[in-house]
Chain A
Amino acid sequence: MSVMTVREAINSALAEEMRRDPSVVLMGCDVALKGGPFGVTLGLLKEFGPERVYDTPISEPGFTGIGVGLAATGIRPVIEIMFCDWVTLAMDQIVNMAAKMRYMFGGKVNMPIVFRIPFGAGGGQAAQHSQSLEAWFNHVPGLKIVVPSTPADYKGLLKAAIRDDNPVLFFEHKRNYMLKGEVPSGDYIKPLGKADIKRSGADVTIVTYSSMVFSSLEAAEALEKEGIDCEVIDLCTLLPLDYDTVLASIAKTNRVVVVHEAQKRGGIGSDIVAEIVERGFDLLDAPPLRVGALNIPVPYNEALEKMCLPDAGKIAECVRKLVNNQI
């Protein structure tokens, strides 16, 4: 065990995988010389050389396509799209090529590609640098979506994602890079598709991921003093989603709220709630709820930004209403 930041966890995962497997290649804007806009890939160019760590021009449609070509020809590329907001430029290659090639080509092509996508709001980054668009990809069969929270999860899940033969979208919350946590030593792999119970509880289930895990835990602590015992489930992977863990928890608590930083309308919470109702209707003692950002582009002004985004206080408020039958 060692304590490291999320950034260090990602860096060590990349380094370890690149050492272990010479076919792993990194690509993205500023990932080589600068070590990434958030310093995540520092030192990798030095260790592995320019044949394995590529600085690209600002050509998302181009270099994501190059990533697809690499993956189809025996390389395992890890492509960084600097900000989730610009994944819009890469949509064609992710959706029409990476997600579909294996299926369309009768299983004849491998697509072991990882797209690392820093996302998330806060700090006045404003509308075009704050988005969380993971819900879009839930709608594309053939992709996998990973959303770690703690440094240990980042490390274990990234290593698993790189070893997975499918296209994986790996979302990193850009405001959590300095978060510290204990990370197991050695070749630590955390399997995709399994949710974690980050906090056990009996009264209500909070289903969440990424930065909102911490806000939910904060809310849970406050609520504990009011006699409300929250169970916090960290989904870790959004696609495929571990409904077994979620439903087992709801069977215990009979109340659920899904929390994400992305806008409430059309966020992945909508799909999760629909599945919960379909699979676990009789377990529910109250309507399943969602907490998400307001349905507006993230504003620049600090106060407005705070009003827009979910936080521990808003989560706690929602849980209170749920438990007191005020919804």
Chain B
Amino acid sequence: MSDIEKIKELIPCFVPMEEKVDDIPMEKQVNMFRTMCLIRAFEERVRDLWLQNKIRGLAHLYVYAEAIAAGACEALEPGDYITSTHRGHGHALARGAEPRLMMAELLGKREGYNRGKGGSMHIADVSAGILGATGIVGSGIGPATGAALSAKIKKDGKVSLCFFGDGASNQGPFFECMNMAAAWNLPIIFLCENNFWGIGTELNRITKNTNIYERSIGFGVPGVQVDGFNVLEVYRAVKKAVDRARAGDGPTLIEARFMRIEGHHSGDTQAYRDLSSIKFLYDFDPILRMQKYLTEVCGITTETIDAIRSEVNKLIDEAVSYAENECTEPSQSDLYEDLYANGEIVL
């Protein structure tokens, strides 16, 4: 079987990036490429720092999923809400969170987004509309739906985009919220990042119909599957759903289908997986695909590409340096702060 046939088996909606896409401004396309590079550079550094024990707990890297965050967030306006997951660094960066404040948080510093109290799984840049990342699978779906309802009540034209994975698509609240979003016609986009693996369990072992996008039919919500390794396809689908929501036409379920290539977290060696069978997936690296498309199909120069790459690397270097050298450790007086509102302390 050729690689293309293999990939189409895993991703039925696979779309090769061989033709120039005209309905998306070039500026946006390049910007999405940059975002993907930024995420990749950030995550590789996170992996290094985690291996050096400078980042505590576990880090769930967004590598090879960059197309989804980059494509989806490009379709949002400032002020729109997203909720994120344990694998949320990509969402935050794509939404415009500052790498240095994220790094500060990962290193547990007071200057971090969560003042050192959250860590990797809870990055929250609320000003960018990120209603936080949650480490409980599926627990962001309710709040995302609530944010959509909030937008409807306030009539402020905002939409809510909920990132969740194939694992969460089997959680009760997913169905409950899809039902309520449909019933109340909420401006929400349910974006399932289906990488086919829930830690050590493949989707087809615990779900009969792995086409998660079909679940919305029963709730009266349109569902669509897109090639998760193709940033332009993701962008298109999300843009359509966002426009629908903003127009008051209700929710959409988008299944961005791809494959998890690396481990569940930075320390996962995937001993449970037949790694030889996934070697070919590295050729479908969304960043390499996009780079090839930009240079070969759109005529973007390699200098431009290199410039983007070195710019993001520099940004990450600065971010790490800031976090390591210019930030402060929280102290005992921070222990009870922000447990309750308005400075109230309850011991």
A contacts, CB < 8 Å to B: 25, 51-52, 54, 56-57, 59, 61-75, 77, 92-93, 96-97, 101-112, 141-142, 144, 164-166, 239-240
Contact between chains at B341 and A57 (CB < 8 Å): no
Binds A, one of B10-18, B138-146, B314-322: B138-146
Contact between chains at B339 and A69 (CB < 8 Å): no
Is B340 positioned at the interface, with any CB of A under 8 Å from its CB? Answer: yes
Is B25 positioned at the interface, with any CB of A under 8 Å from its CB? Answer: no
Binds A, one of B58-66, B85-93, B147-155, B238-246: B147-155
Binds A, one of B112-120, B248-256, B298-306: B112-120
Query: DSSP class of B's interface residues: helix, strand, loop or mixed?
Result: helix
Contact between chains at A69 and B117 (CB < 8 Å): no
The answer to whether A104 and B143 touch (CB under 8 A), given A65-B177, A73-B81, A75-B150, is no
Is B34 positioned at the interface, with any CB of A under 8 Å from its CB? Answer: no
Query: With a CB–CB cut-off of 8 A, which chain B residues contact A101?
Result: 132
Provide the bound-state CA to CA distance between A305 and B254, in Å. 52
Provide the bound-state CA to CA distance between A64 and B138, in Å. 13
The answer to whether A109 and B131 touch (CB under 8 A), given A61-B172, A104-B118, is yes
Provide the bound-state CA to CA distance between A164 and B342, in Å. 10
B130 to chain A, nearest CB (A): 9
Provide the bound-state CA to CA distance between A35 and B82, in Å. 33
Is B323 positioned at the interface, with any CB of A under 8 Å from its CB? Answer: no
B contacts, CB < 8 Å to A: 81, 83, 112-118, 122, 124, 126-127, 131-132, 134, 136, 139, 141-154, 160, 172-173, 175-177, 179-180, 183-184, 337-342, 344, 346
Provide the bound-state CA to CA distance between A216 and B81, in Å. 50
The answer to whether A106 and B142 touch (CB under 8 A), given A166-B341, A239-B346, is no
Provide the bound-state CA to CA distance between A311 and B282, in Å. 70
B211 to chain A, nearest CB (A): 23
**Chain B residue, CB-CB nearest to A63:** B180
Provide the bound-state CA to CA distance between A173 and B346, in Å. 26
Contact between chains at B132 and A59 (CB < 8 Å): no
Contact between chains at A57 and B179 (CB < 8 Å): yes
Query: With a CB–CB cut-off of 8 A, which chain A residues contact B172?
Result: 61-62
